[in-house]
């Protein structure tokens, strides 16, 4: 092979490679499309790249134009996810849906048209018919359907209507009697949230592993009527007595809401791991031994009876008592509990009442001094008094109402994640935050100056409150902090040297709009996010050279010159207000992803971006 032939071969290979890259880029850029008219989609120049289509139109999918003898299929082959929007109300005929479609949604909740037999291709494995209420006939559903969701369907089901391939069935409004054999043996997940008819053994197949009967409350569950294969059960409206055998023997998770019956011993299966009463009013006492020793997750909303030792089994590791507000004594909560949520608790915490071993403790309405003692920490070591919170806690959330002065040793020296809560607005003194803390969040109302030494050097993540708007002095944010998030109101000058050199991620709130100087942002920052109101132009050196991800907010609309953006930038994102056509030469060749509002595409398109940008995303801003 001579040099000319070699050159020609290399040139052809590079040409083919560039063509492939152009197509890949087009697939990445144009894979998704929303259209309001059929003609818009037919004339869309990039329709051959579409894989996801949202059709927000009531035009028929078999489009006929004046002075044209034939019809045009609106949805192109290649689309795999097709959503027909809430205004679509046309008959669906054979050929309207291409055989490439795998997931089809008809989202009109009042859809009243005809779906012809065989019009839904066998390629569809996931089908959503939001408003379809006509009787399902044999052969209407695709033969290879795996998942079916019908949110308004309430007609009798023939035993031969559902395909044998179906594995998941969601019928939100269905409330018709079920004959044995209607629900196929292939189905593993069944959701009948409005069903309220009595059922017998065999009504539900032994293939079921998850069952939701949230509307059922017509009669007590007959022992043996639910198949033992069910591992997860939801019966939110059920409020009848449970008997031995009422629940499946292999049941692992059960969820109620209206249930308010005394639970006797040997009623709940020994396999049960999670028992939840959510958003309910559970008032009966707990009988010792009624909750099985297999239980690891227990949530009792509405329960507010005094607890006694042994009522909660020693196997429970996750405990949430949403409404509980009774004094706690040592042993009431078993030592097995690791995650403890007491959202309504507002009692003095007695030493030992929160067991040693709890790693995560969450309050919501708690607003008591943490340690009811004025003794020194030395006296605690001498067993003269004990701290209220155990030294095993790693995550502590003091809740929305907490607004007590923090004293030294109030927070256990084990805590690594501290959330001071929505209402907290007390000055913080040195030593009140232990040196174990790595992440601290200041809630909403905190607005006191942060003095040097208040935040320990162990902290690496700080989330300041929404109303915090104090000038920061150098070293107030200690070296070691890698992530800093300002709240909504913060709008103070950032003097060079104020923020630590260890910082890697910096997020400003929506009010920040101060001019930045070279050095305001530490050189080590790799991720920088500006809020909605930041509008200042960027000059060379303002954005540090190590920035990889740069996000501008809602109103930023300044243009860029060559050298304004750092040479190592990889991801660049703009908000709704950005209305400048980007000079492609101002973008460093390290950038591989640009994210813009859809308005930019509508105004300028996307053809002017350099080829080294592999991904261009368009989003619709809120």
> What tens digit of pLDDT does each residue of 553-564 get?
999 999 999 999
β-bridge pairing 62-63 and 72-73: antiparallel
Q: In 148-187, which positions are buried (b, 16+ CB within 10 angstroms) versus exposed (e)?
A: bbbbbbeeebeeebbbeebbbbbbbebebebeeebbbebb
610 found inside a domain: yes
Query: In the predicted model, what is the mean pLDDT of residues 227-250?
Result: 98
Q: What pLDDT, in 10s, does the model give residues 331-365?
A: 999 999 999 999 999 999 999 999 999 999 999 99
258 found inside a domain: no
> What string of DSSP letters covers 98-161?
-TT-SEEEE--TT--S-B-TT-S-TT--EEEESS--SPP-TT-S-TT--EEEESS--S---TTT
* pLDDT score at 607: 77
73 found inside a domain: no
Alpha helices in 424-521 (DSSP H): none
Q: Is the pLDDT of residue 392 over 80?
A: yes
Domain that holds residue 516: 469-622
511 found inside a domain: yes
506 found inside a domain: yes
Please tell me whether residues 602 and 487 are part of one structural domain.
yes
Please tell me whether residues 331 and 449 are part of one structural domain.
yes
Four-CA torsion 174, 177, 180, 181, nearest 10 degrees: -40
Please give the mean pLDDT across all residues of the chain: 92
Question: Do the Cβ atoms of 113 and 91 come closer than 8 Å?
Answer: yes
Please give the Cα distance from 433 to 584 (Å, whole number).
49
Q: Is the pLDDT of residue 63 over 90?
A: no
Please tell me whether residues 443 and 479 are part of one structural domain.
no
Assigned token pair, 54: 């949202």
Q: What pLDDT, in 10s, does the model give residues 452-465?
A: 999 999 999 999 99
- Side-chain half-sphere CA neighbours of 341 within 13 A: 13
Which of the pair, 63 or 238, is modelled with greater confidence? 238
* pLDDT score at 70: 60
pLDDT-derived band of residue 15, with 50, 70 and 90 as boundaries?
Answer: low
477 found inside a domain: yes
Please tell me whether residues 452 and 473 are part of one structural domain.
no
3-class SS of residue 273: coil
Q: What is residue 176's DSSP assignment?
A: S
3-class SS of residue 4: helix
User: Which pTM value belongs to this model?
Assistant: 0.87
Q: Is the pLDDT of residue 405 over 70?
A: yes
Instruction: Name residues whose C-beta falls within 8 Å of residue 71's C-beta, 6 or more positions apart in sequence.
Output: 62, 63, 64
Share above pLDDT 90 across residues of the chain, in percent, rounded to a whole number:
81
Q: Is the pLDDT of residue 241 over 70?
A: yes
Q: Is the pLDDT of residue 372 over 90?
A: no
Q: Is the pLDDT of residue 116 over 80?
A: yes
Q: What's the domain count of the chain?
A: 2
Question: Do the Cβ atoms of 371 and 353 come closer than 8 Å?
Answer: no
């Amino acid at each position: 092979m001579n040099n000319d032939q070699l050159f020609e071969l290399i040139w052809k290979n590079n040409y083919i490679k560039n063509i492939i890259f152009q197509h890949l880029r087009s697939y990445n850029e144009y894979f998704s499309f929303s259209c309001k008219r059929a003609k818009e989609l037919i004339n869309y120049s990039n329709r051959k790249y579409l894989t996801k289509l949202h059709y927000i139109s009531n035009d028929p999918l078999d489009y006929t134009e004046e002075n044209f003898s034939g019809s045009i299929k609106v949805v192109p082959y290649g689309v795999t996810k097709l959503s027909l929007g809430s205004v679509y109300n046309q008959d669906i005929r054979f050929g309207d849906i291409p055989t490439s479609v795998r997931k089809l949604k008809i989202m009109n909740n009042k859809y009243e048209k005809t779906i012809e037999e065989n019009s839904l291709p066998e390629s569809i494995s996931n089908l959503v018919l939001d408003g379809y209420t006509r009787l399902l006939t044999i052969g209407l559903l695709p033969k290879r359907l795996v998942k079916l969701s019908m949110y308004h369907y309430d007609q009798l089901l023939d035993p031969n209507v559902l395909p044998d391939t179906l594995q998941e069935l969601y019928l939100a409004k269905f409330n018709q009697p079920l004959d044995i054999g209607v629900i196929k043996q292939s189905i593993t997940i069944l959701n009948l949230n409005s069903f309220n008819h009595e059922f017998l053994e065999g009504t539900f197949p032994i293939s079921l592993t998850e069952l939701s009967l949230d509307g059922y409350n017509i009669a007590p569950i007959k022992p043996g009527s639910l198949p033992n294969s069910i591992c997860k059960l939801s019966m939110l409206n059920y409020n009848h007595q449970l008997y031995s055998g009422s629940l499946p023997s292999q049941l692992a998770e059960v969820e109620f809401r209206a249930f308010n019956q005394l639970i006797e011993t040997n009623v709940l299966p020994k396999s049960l791991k999670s028992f939840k009463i959510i958003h309910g009013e559970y008032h009966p006492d707990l009988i010792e031994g009624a909750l099985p020793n297999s239980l690891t997750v227990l949530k009792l909303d509405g329960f507010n009876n005094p607890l006694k030792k042994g009522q909660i089994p020693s196997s429970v590791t996750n405990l949430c008592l949403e409404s509980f507000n009774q004094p706690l004594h040592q042993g009431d909560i078993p030592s097995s509990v690791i995650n403890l949520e007491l959202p309504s608790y507002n009692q003095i915490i007695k030493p030992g009442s929160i067991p040693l071993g709890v790693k995560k403790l969450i309050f919501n309405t708690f607003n008591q001094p943490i340690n009811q003692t004025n003794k020194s920490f030395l006296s605690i070591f001498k067993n003269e008094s004990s701290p209220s919170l155990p030294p095993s806690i790693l995550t502590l959330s003091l809740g929305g109402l907490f607004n007590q002065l923090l004293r030294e040793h109030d927070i256990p020296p084990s805590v690594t994640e501290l959330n001071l809560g929505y209402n907290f607005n007390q000055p913080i003194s040195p030593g009140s935050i232990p040196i174990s803390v790595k992440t601290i969040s200041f809630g909403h109302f905190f607005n006191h100056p942060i003095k040097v030494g208040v935040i320990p050097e162990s902290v690496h993540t700080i989330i300041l409150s929404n109303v915090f708007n104090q000038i920061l002095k150098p070293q107030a944010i200690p070296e070691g902090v890698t992530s800093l998030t300002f709240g909504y109101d913060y709008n103070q000058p950032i003097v060079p040297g104020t923020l630590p050199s260890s910082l890697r991620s910096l997020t400003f709130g929506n009010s920040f709009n101060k001019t930045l100087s070279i050095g305001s942002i530490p050189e080590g920052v790799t991720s920088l996010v500006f809020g909605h109101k930041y509008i200042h132009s960027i000059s060379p050196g303002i954005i540090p050279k190590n920035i990889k991800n740069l996000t501008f907010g809602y109103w930023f609309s300044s243009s860029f010159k060559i050298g304004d953006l750092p040479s190592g930038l990889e991801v660049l994102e703009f908000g709704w207000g950005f209305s400048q056509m980007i000079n492609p030469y101002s973008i460093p060749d390290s950038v591989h992803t640009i994210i813009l509002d859809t308005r930019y595409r509508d105004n300028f398109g996307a053809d002017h971006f350099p080829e080294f940008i592999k991904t261009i995303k368009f989003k619709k801003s809120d």
